[in-house]
Amino acid sequence: MAKKDDLKAILAPVVEAMGYQFWGLEYLVQGRHTLLRVFIDKPEQGVNVDDCAAVSHQISGVLDVEDPISSVYDLEVSSPGLDRILFVESQYLQFVGSEVDLRLAVPFEGRRKFKGLLIGIEQDAVLIRQDNNEFLLPLEQIERARIVPSFDDKN
């Protein structure tokens, strides 16, 4: 976790100075392969391939200077997409009323996976409704939360 925090502290100011929103990052180490995936957004406009390339070029230079990752790694810069991952409490609040797919680090009531309607945040826990049941899942126990895109035509 400390590595992610260090990377966020280095990269978020760079991304935001370029006029983008730093949405979050994934730092995945699998054997000798390491992947750093940085998610950026531009509210109201979204991001395109050119935006991702520009941010990738800028943060690549910063990473070369700061050298926070001692091994060989791949860098990806991406839009969060419609099925975006939620990283922090404010992002959960932004998507209240949306369907979410959650995976916990440790089982809660014998389960690690939950999918339901995001109701809100209460006392550092995410409240979701699934099949007429409500679950209060501690934020620190959520390994990954992702929005389930809705393609309903409401026009």
CA-angle at 27, arms to 125 and 86, nearest 5°: 30
What is the fold of 2-78?
Answer: GMP Synthetase; Chain A, domain 3 (3.30.300)
What is the fold of 89-147?
Answer: SH3 type barrels. (2.30.30)
pLDDT of residue 154: 54
Give the separation between CA 72 and CA 4, rounded to whole angstroms: 16
What is the residue type of 9?
A: A
Domain boundaries, the chain: 2-78, 89-147
pLDDT digits (tens, 9 = 90+) for 40-69: 999 888 899 999 999 999 999 998 888 888
Q: Specify burial of residue 70 (Cβ count, 10 A radius: 0-12, 13-18, 19+).
A: exposed
pLDDT of residue 95: 95
pLDDT digits (tens, 9 = 90+) for 87-116: 999 999 999 999 999 999 999 889 999 999
pTM of the model: 0.85
Whether 73 shows a pLDDT value over 70: the answer reads yes
Give the separation between CA 154 and CA 147, rounded to whole angstroms: 18
Structure tokens at 136: 């209060």
Give the separation between CA 20 and CA 137, rounded to whole angstroms: 30
Give the separation between CA 105 and CA 1, rounded to whole angstroms: 13
